[in-house]
Copies of this chain bind each other. A is one copy, B any other.
C-alpha cells in the first residue's frame, strides 16, 4: 500500500469533518486553510467523497460540507481504497482488483504478499474516524494548540 497526497488529503479532510461533526457545516475554504490543501484540489477530492456517500453539502452563502454518517461508521480503510485503490503490495494478491500471473499457483512469494496484505487491512479497517478523532482530542488536552 502506498498513500499519495490525494489519499493523505482525503484522510485529513474526513478527520476535519469528524472533529466538526457536531457543529455541522464546514466551508471548503476553512478545511483548505486548516489542513494546508490547495483549495481547487481539495474541491475535487470532496466531489469523490461526495460521490461515494461520505460527505454531503449545501451551496450558497452559509453553505458548506459535512459528514454523511457518524465518524464511528467510517473506516480509514474505506477511504484509502476509495482514493488509492487496492491495498495489496502487488496486484496478483489483490482482492479488489486481482491480476493474473502465470506463476501464481506456485509462486513462492505469494505467501509474503498475502500476509502483508492481511495485516494492512486489519490495521486500516480496524480504525474508524471516531478512533482517530479521539486520539486528536487526547493530544489536545496535553497540547491545546493542536490544529489539525
List the interface of chain A (C-beta within 8 A of B): 1-3, 8, 11-12, 15, 36, 76, 89-90, 102-103, 106-109, 111-113, 115-116, 119-120, 123-124, 127, 132-133, 135-136, 139, 143, 146, 148
Give the one of A76, A112, A113, A148 with max B CB within 10 A.
Answer: A112
Q: What are 5 inter-chain pairs, A to B, with CB distance below 8 A?
A: A1-B1, A1-B89, A36-B102, A108-B135, A111-B135
Q: Is the CB of A108 within 8 A of B3?
A: no
CA distance A115 to B136 in the complex (A): 18
Contacts of A115 in B (CB 8 A): 123
Contacts of A90 in B (CB 8 A): 2-3, 8
Please give the distance in Å from A95's CB to the nearest CB on chain B: 16
Task: Give the oligomeric copy count.
Answer: 2
Contacts of A36 in B (CB 8 A): 102
CA distance A90 to B12 in the complex (A): 14
Contacts of A12 in B (CB 8 A): 103
Q: Is the CB of A109 within 8 A of B132?
A: yes
Q: Is the CB of A112 within 8 A of B139?
A: no
Q: Is the CB of B136 within 8 A of A108?
A: yes
